[in-house]
Amino acid sequence: MAKNLSMRDALRAALHEEMIRDERVFIMGEEVGRWQGTHKVTRGFYEEFGADRVRDTPISEMAIAGVAVGAAMAGLRPVAEMMTINFAFLAFDAIINHAAKIPYMFNGQFQVPLVIRAATGWGNQATATHSHTPEPIWAHFPGLYVGSPSNAYDAKGMLKAAIRDDNPILFTEVIALYPKPSAIPDEEYLIPIGKADIKHSGDDVTIVSYGRGVEWSLEAAEILAKEDIQAEVVDMRWLRPLDIATVLESFRKTNRCVVVEESLPHYSFGSEIAAQLQEAAFDYMDAPVKRVSALDVPLPFAKELEMMALPNTQKVVQAVREVL
Amino acid sequence: MATKTRSLTKETLIAWYREMVLVRKFEDKCHYLYFEEKDPARKITGVYLHLCSGSEATHVGAVKALGVDDHVITAYRDHGIAIARGTDPKRVMAEMMGKRTGTSGGKGGSMHLADRERNFWGGYAIVGGQFPLAAGIALKENYLKTSNAVLCFVGDGAMNNGYFHEAVNMAAVWKLPVVWLVENNLVGMGTRIEESSGQVNPLKRADSYGIKAGPSVDGQNIIEVYEAVTAELDYAREHGPVLMEARTYRYEGHGVSDKQFDARADLKEELATWESRDPINILRDHLLAEYKNLDREFAAIDSETTQIVDEAVEYAVSSPTPTFDDLMAHIYV
């Protein structure tokens, strides 16, 4: 049996199941408790689990991340929420210099079983400081895993796996995807960390994406199918560990690749995929790898400008035509 | 000396004296191996080395106040704290030399000593980085409803870092068992406290977080430090965080490679004043005033501690360097 759940409710179910399963799992963040969560992912948790396990914090991103790191080192399994990834920049040091480095720097004496959840992505004219999709920046650093689901089904299984993992993990959730539903089985399932997923099969071109880009890629694949162009859509799910093997397998079949990312083009997810493809599969390459990214500008307020700057389904379709 | 000294036995005070001497000799040896040692196989290399000479009473005294299940965490000036917590000086020296047998397998260096078995959670090289970690470790104790507490060393300069504000406030809101011990050596790197802080009395900040302002103690007097930290740890177990201060000094500048005392004549003058209040001499004078016939004991301590440091150096020098497998290990679990 299965039921349709929005990504918001699928994430909520994942958290709920893990908190029931393991008493060391607790939630901390701004407005996660009494307010029911800014994005309502923790709705009802404060009433059910109490203030010790659903901890409202001050507006203190450095401490939200840093205190969670300390608690994780000491043996708890915190799920810390950054209201949005934009605010996580304030916690960069705690996440990168501490969460990601402590296991290594002290030669394995400490583990940091921490999940930092953060809402990500643009939309609704949130403007330059509130419209980041900066997953690739975080994925730059060894020691941290970075995941970003593209749909409710994946979100549930990925988050549960993340909470059970002993490494620090940044888990970003695209705000625009929160209301979108998937069929969620009643039975428990986990989606392994670092495993990509073929969301649509095809032989003509490989479209690699993650997060919201998967939606545009799948829509593009439908449009292209009508022109008898068969696109294979690879949803990476995780930027670290990066399942490049799945991309390579697809690329050796299609010999063409378009990378779709909601984020910026410089030093990006697309740059990394393109670099790794040319290193590992140059002989299979029939066209340059094409990137569909946001334009290299800060996101403005005016709706028309925002839309101009951002990728969309049509841009993906166009990019595929250019590599064929 | 405080009136409570009666409860401290001669054996305890002698043991502390011995440990302070050991820490001083360890630091002196590090200084030698960094600057003067000619044999590359015996040198301490790298850009960073932060010695705690002059601060032994604060470091050793505060750590001695901890119970076995209590916790300690600090910044990069961590050698004395590791040794006081019982970490083998051999492994500490091996870490100084980047050896496989070091406390962090040669991957942390002098600023990142740690000893998980002894609840020494590490030295941290990002100023202020240890503050939220201290609160997080305390959160675990609070969550599990134990009575264990966390001692967190706080540099006077680090109090102006945002981590201090955020972590102390969060620990206050959640009443976490942390003693924030300001190791006030009056200078953050080369900038004096009155040049960097609007409020030069660290304890006055406690009020703005709604936490207890503990005492300001003479950080050169190990008995005073020990007794105050013991009392404040007990307060923290019951009631939540305390901010307290130990007034101390460091003899060697921020890092050994900086030229603090060359650059600032005022600090050099001040240094001379503090050296006249050396923490080891203060305890020695106290012991001599209280007990007779200590000459033989002092002589034995002198030779024993020299031997421990020499053995630590030989152990470190003869230890293997880390391998490629070590390079790649522990990035992830």
* A107 contacts on B by Cβ (under 8 Å): 103-108, 326, 329-330
Q: Would you call A61 a catalytic residue per the annotation?
A: yes
* Contact assignment for A67 to B139 by CB distance below 8 Å: yes
Query: What range does the domain containing B101 cover?
Result: 3-317
Residue A123 confidence (pLDDT): 75
Provide the shortest C-alpha distance from residue B24 to chain A (in Å).
Answer: 24
Confidence at residue B270, expressed as pLDDT on a 0 to 100 scale: 83
Residue B327 lies in a domain: no
Which pLDDT tens digit goes with each residue over B13-56?
999 999 999 999 999 999 999 999 999 999 999 989 999 999 99
Domain assignment of residue B267, yes or no: yes
Angle, CA of B50, A97 and B196, to the nearest 5°: 55
Is A130 an active-site residue?
yes
Q: Looking up tokens 């199941």, which residue turns up? A: A17
Structural domains present in chain A: 2-185 (3.40.50.970), 197-323 (3.40.50.920)
Q: Provide the pLDDT for residue B3.
A: 44
Q: Do A83 and A59 touch, CB atoms closer than 8 A?
A: no
Q: Does B85 touch chain A (CB under 8 A)?
A: no
**Is B233 within a domain?**
yes
Q: Is residue B1 predicted with pLDDT exceeding 50?
A: no
The confidence score (pLDDT) of residue A99 equals 98
Distance CA B217, CA B204 (A): 15
pLDDT band at residue B262 under the 50/70/90 scheme: confident
Confidence of residue B2 (pLDDT cuts 50, 70, 90): very low
Rounded Cα gap, residues A52 and B181, in angstroms? 26
Overall pTM surpassing 0.90 (yes/no): yes
On whether any CB of chain A is under 8 Å from the CB of B131, the answer is yes
- B324 assigned to some structural domain: no
User: Is B202 inside a domain boundary?
Assistant: yes
Q: Which residues of B touch A116 (CB under 8 A)?
A: none
Tell me: the pLDDT tens digits for B223-261?
Answer: 999 999 999 999 999 999 999 999 999 888 888 877 667
Residue A64: how many other CB atoms lie within 10 Å? 31
Closest Cβ–Cβ partner in A105, A111, A166 for B108: A105
In order, the DSSP letters of B196-228 are H-SS--GGGHHHHTT-EEEEEEETT-HHHHHHH
Q: What is the ipTM of this complex?
A: 0.96
Contacts of B169 in chain A (CB under 8 A): 58, 60, 63
Average pLDDT of chain B? 94
Q: Out of A16, A130, A249, A272, pick the active-site residue.
A: A130
Residue positions counted in chain B: 333
CA of B200 to nearest chain A CA: how many angstroms apart?
Answer: 24
A·B CB contacts under 8 A: 136
Q: Is residue B323 part of a domain?
A: no
In this predicted structure, what is the pLDDT of residue A34? Answer: 95
pLDDT score for B261: 72
Those residues of chain A that have pLDDT short of 70 are none
CATH number, position B194: 3.40.50.970
Cβ contact, residue pair B330, A145, below 8 Å: no
Tell me the pLDDT tens digit for each residue of B291-323. 999 999 999 999 999 999 999 999 999 999 999
Who among A58, A65, A110 is closest to B173 (CB)? A58
Residue among B104, B132, B141 whose CB faces A94 most closely? B132
Question: Would you call B166 and A71 a contact, using CB atoms and an 8 Å cutoff?
Answer: no
Q: Which of B103, B141, B331 to mutate to test the interface with A (most CBs of A within 10 A)?
A: B331
Distance CA A79, CA A162 (A): 10
Closest CA to A272 of A300, A252, A291, A296: A291
DSSP summary character for residue B258? S
Residue B271 pLDDT > 90:
no
Distance CA A265, CA A294 (A): 7
Residue B155, phi then psi, degrees to nearest 5: -70, 150
pLDDT digits (tens, 9 = 90+) for B53-78: 999 999 999 999 999 999 999 999 99
- Of B309, B117, B149, the C-alpha closest to B241 is B149
Distance from CA of B121 to the nearest CA of A (A): 9
Q: Contacts of residue A78 in chain B, CB cutoff 8 Å?
A: 136
CA angle in degrees (0–180, nearest 5) for B143-B146-B151: 90
- If one counts every other C-beta atom within 10 angstroms of the C-beta of residue B287, the result is 17
Residue position matching structure tokens 């997923």: A197
Mode of pairing for the β-strands spanning A231-235 and A145-147: unpaired
Query: With contact defined as beta carbons under 8 Å apart, do A233 and A172 qualify?
Result: no
Q: Which helix (H) or strand (E) holds B244?
A: strand B242-247
Closest chain B residue to the Cα of A98, Cα to Cα: B129
Question: Residue A67 and residue B114: Cβ atoms within 8 Å?
Answer: no
Q: How far is A193 from chain B (nearest CA, A)?
A: 12
Question: B325 in a domain, yes or no?
Answer: no
pLDDT of the residue at B6:
56
Q: How many domains does chain B have?
A: 1
Residue B113 CB neighbour total at 10 angstroms: 27
Q: Nearest C-alpha of chain A: how many angstroms from B172?
A: 11
Residues of B in contact with A142 (CB under 8 A): 331
Residue of B nearest to A71 (CA): B136
B89-96 vs B295-318: helix crossing angle, rounded to 10 = 50
